[in-house]
Amino acid sequence: MKHLNNIQKIIDKKEISRYADVSGDRNPIHLDDEFAANSHFGGVVAHGMLTLAFVSEMLVDTFGVNWFETGKLKVRFKRPVYPGNRVHTEGKIVGIKSDSCKDLVSCSVSLIDSDTGEAIITGKASVTIRKRNTQID
């Protein structure tokens, strides 16, 4: 089936810091090198919601306003993202259920470490796309 538009990013500390400021999540695991080095992560990690935003960006890029209006997403976080990691999204339409008014599009989605090929986030998304009324009165 059709692959979704791919998004590629390189995570850096500046982006993590900006996300912390905007989100209000100033947990030291994201910002403090010394604190994070002593954690089970072994260093600063990006916010999970920051990385998930890349998956959402892919869905917006593919489905536009339909994603905002009807999109649903269920994911699992599999591993952290560290500053310097290169990541990319992957998505594929796995099914379409149609009726006369709409298509319900089901997708598999993921965020992948571009260097190792390991999944960072995996999940499923669905979006409803309403069909245009072609009836002429």
Query: In this structure, are residues 44 and 30 in contact, taking their beta carbons and an 8 Å threshold?
Result: yes
First to last CA, the chain: 36
**Which mean pLDDT values do the consecutive 10-residue runs of the chain (137 residues) have?**
90 97 96 96 97 97 95 98 98 95 96 97 96 60
> Quick check: is 109 in a domain?
yes
Which pLDDT score is estimated for 131? 86
Looking at the domain assignment, is residue 2 inside a domain? Answer: no
What is the per-residue pLDDT for 137?
A: 45
Taking the C-alpha atoms of residue 83 and residue 46, their distance in angstroms, rounded to an integer, is 7
Whether 38 is in a domain gets the answer yes
The pLDDT, as a whole number, for residue 1 is 67
Structure tokens at 70: 């009807």
Domain that holds residue 22: 8-130
For the stretch 50-74, pLDDT in tens is 999 999 999 999 999 999 999 999 9
Closest-CA residue to 122 (of 67, 68, 55): 55
Per the domain annotation, does 3 fall within a domain?
A: no
Residue 137 lies in a domain: no
Residue 31 · residue 20 · CB < 8 Å:
yes
Q: 136 lies in a domain?
A: no
Domains: count for the chain:
1
What pLDDT is recorded for position 123? 98
Q: Is residue 118 part of a domain?
A: yes
Query: Which CATH number belongs to the domain containing residue 122 in this structure?
Result: 3.10.129.10
- How many CB atoms are closer than 10 A to CB 121? 21
Q: Tell me how far apart the alpha carbons of residues 133 and 8 are, in angstroms, rounded to a whole number.
A: 36
Sequence-ordered list of residues with C-beta below 8 angstroms from that of 21, at least 6 positions apart, any chain: none
Are the beta carbons of 123 and 63 closer than 8 angstroms?
Answer: no
